[in-house]
Structure 1
Amino acid sequence: MLSVIIPTLNAEATLPRVLTALIPAAVHGVVREVIIADGGSTDGTAEIVEATGAKFIHAPRGRGSQLAAGAKAAKSSWLLFLHADTVLEQGWDREVEKLLEHVAAGRFRSPEIAATFRFTLDDFSGSARFLERVVAYRCALLKLPYGDQGLIVNKRLYDRIGGFRDLPLMEDVDLVRRIGRRRMVLLRSRAVTSPERYLKDGFATRMARNALCITLYYLRVPPRFIARIYA
């Protein structure tokens, strides 16, 4: 049912857990293939992929271009885009299987829909819980998930709206905006993401920077300039 596409760049520290969480879904037939779109890793990423039997492809460095390359190589009618430091919680495949059954039964206005998981940080702090609530409100009100929540999208819809663009930043927001709020389904299963960026920069600093970047994006500031601020 699903082609899982994961962009990587020196992801040996986090990739094993991400791939392990996909094994039950592959056994149950929910995941047809896992495609690793690598942007030039120099660590053990390629060896990890080879050991798991996933498909390894080379792509121009940049998350947007890597995701686009993975989607082009995919064979399934549904795509799951997943970051290399985001682990889907146990049971996610059963919820997705039920969603696709509903689509096949015609319970949606159109089969051209997308879905995203519930954002969770792999951290026990109060700051992490606060950020999770902020993201939950954003998704409930705006239907605007980010890439670290994972994104499932119908392949026909993905192709029709032009797929991922080669942007230095905001490639996930750009795609979600073109998908549209009415086509976005919010799932209950959690996508558990590494808190490394927030721990390194500080929660308040990283959250403020993210808010500034998304504001500049909506003000139509070119992504290449926003990328400098984000970095």
Structure 2
Amino acid sequence: MPAETATTLSWIVPAHQEDQRLALLLADLQDGLAEGDELIVVDGESQDATQQVAGLHGARVVCCSPNRGAQLRHGVAMAHGHRFVFIHADSRLAGGAELGRQLRRLPRGQAHCFRFKVDDPQLCFRILERLVALRTTVLGLPYGDQGLVIDRHLYERCGGFRELPLMEDVDLVLRLRAWGGVRQLPHSICTSARRWHRHGLLRTSVRNMILLLRWVLGEDSETLKRDYYSQGP
């Protein structure tokens, strides 16, 4: 077996009401699949065409309650790859086959994330990208919209995702610090600016920071989810 395909990748995408954005992401990911790789979409009871779109783009579709932590755990339970790549459904990830080869060649026993990028040309988003890069480098705290690449063995050792409706990404990243933390890759993942457009960049950023602080101080994830979605997704 060639060296670059010795490590198989399981791409795991939690989704809910994402039929518009999901097709673009899956087209990106299909370009980088190699023998033994798999593409899994875990749908959280969508009422739109999310499941149909996923199936048409060659993904294995499984269903779960609309709880991102539970969806990610369910995706892992269905996966057979040596290395998991967790990606949000409203992302874009260029790179194709070359990116796939590089992900397979990553050192074992490490966790990685991508560089954060927003699909909006405004200067304020370039500032946001720099702040996220600083948070990732200095604090070692990437969020789920930066993706996560992690070996099966390391995932199992650290306990994996918990069934949390919010902060499931922060919860796992903090536990990964005991195994060397999460390293940032030179490749960018592009996320949709829709949430900032809907609620405003400053307001959304401040809200997220407050929610993170409340989580660190021990507040319940269900309460945080209720407050997060009280103004709409």
Q: Do they fold alike, i.e. is TM over 0.5? A: yes
Give the corresponding residue for 1:184: 182
Aligned-pair CA distance for 1:102: 4.9
Aligned-pair CA distance for 1:100: 3.6
Matched, 1:101 2:99: no
Letter matched to residue 102 of structure 2? K
Matched, 1:13 2:20: yes
Distance 2:203 2:119 in 1: 18
Letter matched to residue 30 of structure 2? I
Aligned-pair CA distance for 1:183: 3.7
- Specify which of 88, 91, 98 is matched with residue 93 of structure 2: 88
Give the corresponding residue for 2:197: 199
| Count of paired positions | 221
- Match of 2:121, SS state, is coil
Q: Please tell me whether the aligned partners of residues 112 and 183 of structure 1 are also in contact (alpha carbons under 8 angstroms).
A: no
Matched, 1:41 2:39: no
Distance 2:35 2:116 in 1: 21
Aligned-pair CA distance for 1:225: 2.3
Give the corresponding residue for 1:154: 151
Aligned-pair CA distance for 1:229: 2.8
Identity %: 36
Aligned-pair CA distance for 1:90: 2.7
Give the corresponding residue for 1:106: none
- Match of 1:67, SS state, is helix
Aligned-pair CA distance for 1:222: 1.8
Letter matched to residue 114 of structure 1? A
| Deviations 1:49-68, CA, capped at 9 Å, x for gaps | 22122100011221110010
Q: Please tell me whether the aligned partners of residues 25 and 31 of structure 1 are also in contact (alpha carbons under 8 angstroms).
A: no
Distance 2:106 2:50 in 1: 36
Distance 1:31 1:194 in 2: 30
- Specify which of 167, 184, 198 is matched with residue 170 of structure 1: 167
Deviating runs (4+, > 6 A) in structure 1? none
Which segments of 5 or more consecutive residues in structure 1 lack a partner in the other structure? 104-110
Matched, 1:65 2:75: no
Distance 1:52 1:96 in 2: 18
Give the corresponding residue for 1:213: 211
Matches within 5 A, 1:119-138: 119-138=116-135
Distance 2:134 2:36 in 1: 30
Scaled by the length of structure 2, the TM-score of the pair is 0.90
Q: Please tell me whether the aligned partners of residues 88 and 144 of structure 2 are also in contact (alpha carbons under 8 angstroms).
A: yes
| 36 and 99 in structure 1: CA distance in 2 versus 1, 3 angstrom threshold | closer
Distance 1:102 1:13 in 2: 32
- Specify which of 101, 112, 116 is matched with residue 113 of structure 2: 116
Aligned-pair CA distance for 1:98: 3.1
| 202 and 220 in structure 1: CA distance in 2 versus 1, 3 angstrom threshold | same
